[in-house]
Structure 1
Amino acid sequence: MQFVSILPLAMGIFIASQTAINSRLTSHNHLPLVTSTISFATGSLFLGILTLCSGQGRGIRLGVILDTPWWSWLGGLTAAFALTCNILLFKHLGSVETTLYPVIGQIIMSLVIDQFGWFGSLQQRMTWHKGLGLVFLIAGLLIFINLVNFHRTVQEADAKLSPQLGWQLLGIFAGVALAIQNAVNARLGQAFHSPLHAAFVSFAVSFILLLFFNLIRGTGIICAIRQTLARQSGCEWWIWLGGLLGSSYVGLSSVLVLILGTGQVVILALFGQLVFSALIQQFGWFNSRVIKMSRSQGIGTVIMFVGILLIKF
């Protein structure tokens, strides 16, 4: 049981690594959409194998399609958007911020979905500890981006914020998309009576949408893969593993939630993701850009994590 309890930490490490790996793959082909397509292709293949091996993959009955709300099929679209955003964000913001801003957007949107019971989710009203957690989350964010610093003028704070504001907002919107994905995939999982089957369908839809979009744009995916193979050094075989890591997260989550509960899995996974993102950025792992974490960023991250704990529990 102790071994099972640390698996959510590995899930967080998988997601942090996936973003860095996909960013490195994009540095070779210069096509974020192609990288997303490759990631969802390998992820769909892995989840498809898992679904078949588990005995849960029995196709999609027409009755399920007709009886399921149209928005239940949006998980693939939102997942494709969020993953592509993360690839773009990693280059401009670094590993830690690429993790933090989507997490903030995801948590805020999750609270809104719970408050109003959107997407067929169980309605859960805002409580005092959730409100307090939200305050901690916002305070930690302000400290992280160094806006809360009484030794600086308003003009200096604006100058600090402005260059990255667009990317930071995009990260928050990516998190909003992830929250919607979680909600609609949960509804799809109920329709299929299998969260794993729903995750496979979501990944497959993401792959098909991205493939279609690349074909419309005239992007040569096969040509881009060949160019990447020609440019990469032999020791960078791991740049193709992003989809496998992302789908492993989904597969483990569908199993561990039943054993440990959603709250424990989410918190431990977020903790693993935040810590490993900081290590990637600090030491430049996966051939990424080295960005040393400042004291204010460290303090802000801790305060935000306390906020996450209050919200989730």
Structure 2
Amino acid sequence: MWYLYAIVLLAGIANAIQPGQNGALAKGLPQPLTAGLVVGLGTFLTVLVAGLVSGRLALPTYEEAARIPWWAWFGGVLGGGIVATQLLVAQTVGAAAFTGLLVTAGVVTSIALDHFGWVGFEQHSANLPRILGGLLMIGGVALIARS
């Protein structure tokens, strides 16, 4: 299972690099949000190829789709919001502040999602070490964003 952690670490590295790439693309195009369409097309093609190569791509039946909670269909909207934020904000605030705020907000939100078992996550109590970790991240990103 260790390799899964390596994959997540690589995704974290990509998460730090992507805003700069997207920002450079946005600056080179007539309007910054046009870059979002390019990014979305790249995302679509990457997922399509990964699905075809792995054999893990199939459209759901109507019955399967009907069993999915309504809110589960809107993850792409959240992803689009993240990309739009990268295009419009990341280069202005800087890589460290942008990624630090993005990750810290994600960790603090994740603690709450785990604690209450929201949006499909298993329930994991927000115990003292988790809360302290979240607070330390907030303090760390505050130091990064100040400079």
**What TM-score comes out, normalization by structure 1 length?**
0.39
Q: Does 1:240 align with 2:73?
A: yes
| 1:205 counterpart residue number | 42
- In structure 2, relative to structure 1, the CA distance for the partners of 1:177 and 1:220 (3 Å cut) is closer
Q: Is the 8 A contact 2:19 2:87 kept in 1?
A: no
Deviation at 1:193, TM superposition (A): 4.0
- Distance in 2 separating the partners of 1:214 and 1:282: 32
- In structure 2, relative to structure 1, the CA distance for the partners of 1:308 and 1:253 (3 Å cut) is same
- Distance in 2 separating the partners of 1:219 and 1:297: 34
- Distance in 2 separating the partners of 1:198 and 1:248: 13
- In structure 2, relative to structure 1, the CA distance for the partners of 1:218 and 1:253 (3 Å cut) is closer
- Distance in 2 separating the partners of 1:168 and 1:218: 23
Q: Does 1:294 align with 2:127?
A: yes
The one-letter amino acid of 2:125's match is K
The one-letter amino acid of 1:306's match is G
The one-letter amino acid of 2:29's match is F
Tell which structure's C-alpha radius of gyration is larger. Answer: 1
Q: Does 1:275 align with 2:108?
A: yes
CA RMSD of aligned residues (A): 2.9
Q: Deviations over 1:237-262 (max 9, x none)?
A: 2221111111023335545x39xx52
Percent pairwise identity: 26
| 1:230 counterpart residue number | 63
Please, which runs of 5 or more residues in structure 1 have no aligned partner?
1-162
Q: Is the 8 A contact 2:111 2:126 kept in 1?
A: yes
User: Which of 21, 24, 27 matches 1:184?
Assistant: 21
- In structure 2, relative to structure 1, the CA distance for the partners of 1:221 and 1:234 (3 Å cut) is closer
| 1:126 counterpart residue number | none
- Distance in 1 separating the partners of 2:68 and 2:44: 27
1:243-258 alignment runs, 5 A limit: 243-252=76-85, 254-255=87-88, 257=89
SS of 1:292's partner is coil
The one-letter amino acid of 1:176's match is I
Q: Which protein has greater RCO, CA pairs closer than 8 Å, 6+ apart?
A: 1
SS of 2:77's partner is helix
- Distance in 2 separating the partners of 1:176 and 1:219: 25
Deviation at 1:272, TM superposition (A): 3.9
**What TM-score comes out, normalization by structure 2 length?**
0.75
- Distance in 1 separating the partners of 2:116 and 2:84: 29
The one-letter amino acid of 1:292's match is S
Q: Is the 8 A contact 2:19 2:86 kept in 1?
A: no
User: Which of 93, 98, 101 matches 1:262?
Assistant: 93
- Distance in 2 separating the partners of 1:282 and 1:219: 31
- In structure 2, relative to structure 1, the CA distance for the partners of 1:306 and 1:206 (3 Å cut) is same
SS of 1:221's partner is coil
| 1:303 counterpart residue number | 136
| 1:171 counterpart residue number | 8
- Distance in 1 separating the partners of 2:87 and 2:20: 14
Q: Deviations over 1:291-310 (max 9, x none)?
A: 11331222122112212222
